[in-house]
Homo-oligomer: A and B are copies of this chain.
């Protein structure tokens, strides 16, 4: 259980925030334009309090920011926070894909020139 600092906590909150269809729908809506809580709540059958809570989850995750306009508190999407997530994901995705491509090369070589075959196992090994 190594501690990688507050970085982990940000990712925790951001991924958790997106792990809910209502909140993802709010993100989708806000990608088109900023909006207030009432505007965001309208398409849903949920109470405005529930939407308000969802918005707070998104805000604490850094995925949205809020400003002030009289009694209204408009929400704005924070693209930079979304970019951090894709950055994290793509780092590991690309590494794995590169590894798989390398394996494809190995398998192709094995097809053209069969190996000594000292030991046959179902799994190629821990570095497939």
A24 within 8 A of B: yes
Could you tell me the dominant secondary structure of chain A's interface residues?
helix
Chain B residues within an 8 Å CB radius of A70: 122
From B20, B31, B91, B121, A96 is in contact (CB under 8 Å) with: B31
Chain B residues within an 8 Å CB radius of A89: 18, 82, 85-86
Q: How many residues of A contact B (CB 8 A)?
A: 62
A117 within 8 A of B: no
Docked CA distance A76–B128 (Å): 9
Q: State whether A93 and B79 are in contact (beta carbons under 8 Å apart), knowing that A19-B19, A69-B122 are contacts in the complex.
A: yes
Docked CA distance A127–B77 (Å): 12
Q: Contact at A34–B128, with CB atoms within 8 Å? A: yes
Chain B residues within an 8 Å CB radius of A92: 27-28, 31, 77, 82
Q: Contact at B79–A100, with CB atoms within 8 Å? A: yes
Closest 9 CB pairs of A and B: A15-B19, A16-B19, A31-B92, A69-B123, A82-B93, A15-B18, A31-B95, A86-B86, A77-B96
